[in-house]
Amino acid sequence: MALVRLPTITHHETRFELRIGLLTGGGDCPGLNAAIRAVVKQGMGEYGHTIIGFRNGWKGVVDGDIIPLGRQDIRNVLPVGGTLLGTARFHPHASDGGIDAVLATVEAERLDAMICIGGDGTLHAASKVADAGVNIVAIPKTIDNDVEGTDLSIGFHTAVNIATEAIDRVHTTAESHNRVMVVEVMGRHAGWIAVNAGIAGGAEVVLAPEDPFDMDAIEKFLRHRHRAHANFSIVVVAEGAVPREGSSMNFTQELGKYGEIIAGSIGERVSAEIAKRTGFDTRLTVLGHVQRGGEPTPTDRILGSRFGVAAVDAVSRGESKVMTALRGESVVLVPLDEIAGKVKHVPAELLRVAHALS
Ligand code: F6P
């Protein structure tokens, strides 16, 4: 994959004023406000750019629904979850006249470029809008951490913290009551939260979309564990986990209007199946949107800030159709064409650790 190393920009090396549109799209997550704040601070402070925010993602661009952003708007937002711009799951290329409406707003607002903060859907839309001639720099965010091309996306670190704390809490009550506790976490296409929080929280079983599970094997494992050395177990299930084809448990995932998973469906099924097969007292906790709310961790605040600064620098250099990405210790740019529509899956090595420690 081609990488563009970011050159160090010295103060006022590049000084020309641009009008930059800014949006957050898709599901919200902690750390978005840190990125918005960084775009405004770096854009206005370093370059004298004007930042025009759009309400509710691409929908706001189509509707021309703007919020001019100044320093007063970003005061005290660093520790605040959600996004001060609002967000929506709306894709202009999927609605009639959507791209034309985006172009009309870009012209009406005299935008030189746009910075789009989002996950797979928003980035895909960004790529389509760039194809229509708009200069775009994207920033990856999603608690699922499944955006290709970057080690981390904004929001993931906080979600893993929340899920780990929840597993820790469930642990003590599981032990007190001799129960099997099933904890369902988010992760539609990839099991990053399940695997990381499962390892950190010491889960006995971790089920991820990357590795279809076998309910017979889980039943056998739990029976053995409870007979041999424990009276409780924690089972972490990613919402996108599925049983292995041809295995003894049939399951078809229920999907919502935008293809989103209905929270609780696989968790309920796994928990009912364990209770039925083993007779163990079993309870389900669905973490759901708790994982997406509240204060970002310092890591997400720092990541959002770094991506925000890098995106403004990139726009100011005339870069377009690229996304900021973390690679090791560095923030780099990757071409949107190389990542749009792809899913970054949990590698086999990490899955192995989750299974080895069960
Ligand atoms: O943004 C990713 C995500 O949190 C997924 O993990 C989850 O399946 C989905 O969003 C939920 O979407 P919504 O908030 O629209 O119900």
99 by Cβ neighbours in 10 Å (0-12 / 13-18 / 19+) ranks as buried
Establish if 348 belongs to a structural domain.
no
- Structural tokens at position 173: 């009550």
Binding-site members are 27, 89-90, 119-122, 142-144, 179, 186-188, 239, 283, 289-292
Asked if 59 and 88 touch (Cβ cutoff 8 Å), the reply is yes
Structurally, the chain folds into a number of domains equal to: 2
Asked if 262 and 254 touch (Cβ cutoff 8 Å), the reply is yes
Whether residues 287 and 301 fall in one domain: no
Establish if 31 belongs to a structural domain.
yes
The rounded Å distance from CA 87 to ligand 1 centre is: 12
Establish if 245 belongs to a structural domain.
yes
Q: Find the CATH number of the domain harbouring 200.
A: 3.40.50.460
- Structural tokens at position 318: 């005339």
Domain containing residue 49: 4-155+296-338
Residue 10 has pLDDT above 50, yes or no: no
What order of strands is seen across the sheet that includes strand 19-24? 4-5, 330-335, 322-327, 136-140, 113-118, 19-24, 50-54, 66-69
Whether residues 24 and 147 fall in one domain: yes
What order of strands is seen across the sheet that includes strand 180-185? 205-207, 233-238, 180-185, 282-286
DSSP 31-44: THHHHHHHHHHIII
Q: pLDDT tens digit string along 247-278?
A: 888 888 878 776 778 777 999 999 999 999 99
Asked if 137 and 314 touch (Cβ cutoff 8 Å), the reply is yes
Establish if 258 belongs to a structural domain.
yes
**Residue where one domain finishes, among candidates 259, 292, 325:** 292
Mean pLDDT for 222-244 is: 95
Q: pLDDT tens digit string along 290-341?
A: 999 999 999 999 999 999 999 999 999 999 999 999 999 999 999 999 998 8
Q: Which residues line ligand 1 (CB under 6 A)?
A: 26-27, 89, 119, 142-144, 186-188, 239, 260-261, 292
Pairing of strands 322-327, 330-335: antiparallel
Ligand 1, atom nearest to 193 Cα: 6
Whether residues 8 and 151 fall in one domain: yes
The C-alpha atoms of residue 240 and residue 186 are separated, in whole angstroms, by 8
Query: What integer pLDDT is reported at residue 12 of this predicted model?
Result: 47
Q: What percent of the chain has pLDDT over 90?
A: 87
The rounded Å distance from CA 74 to ligand 1 centre is: 26
Whether residues 25 and 151 fall in one domain: yes
Q: pLDDT tens digit string along 162-191?
A: 999 999 999 999 999 999 999 999 999 999
Whether residues 183 and 318 fall in one domain: no
Whether residues 126 and 179 fall in one domain: no
Whether residues 12 and 149 fall in one domain: yes
Which residue type, as a one-letter code, is found at position 81?
A: G
The C-alpha atoms of residue 147 and residue 117 are separated, in whole angstroms, by 12
**In 10 A of CB 206, how many CB atoms?**
29
The C-alpha atoms of residue 267 and residue 99 are separated, in whole angstroms, by 39
| Most distant pair of Cα atoms in the chain: their distance | 71
Residue 11 has pLDDT above 60, yes or no: no
Asked if 211 and 354 touch (Cβ cutoff 8 Å), the reply is no
Query: What integer pLDDT is reported at residue 148 of this predicted model?
Result: 97
Q: Which mutation among 188, 193, 237, 344 tests ligand 1's pocket best, with the greatest number of atoms within 8 A of CB?
A: 188
The rounded Å distance from CA 123 to ligand 1 centre is: 15
Interaxial angle between packed helices 120-131 and 98-108, expressed in degrees from 0 to 180 and rounded to the nearest 10: 70
Whether residues 191 and 305 fall in one domain: no
Q: 155: phi > 0 → left, psi -120 to 50 → alpha, else beta; which?
A: left
Q: What is the mean pLDDT of the chain?
A: 94
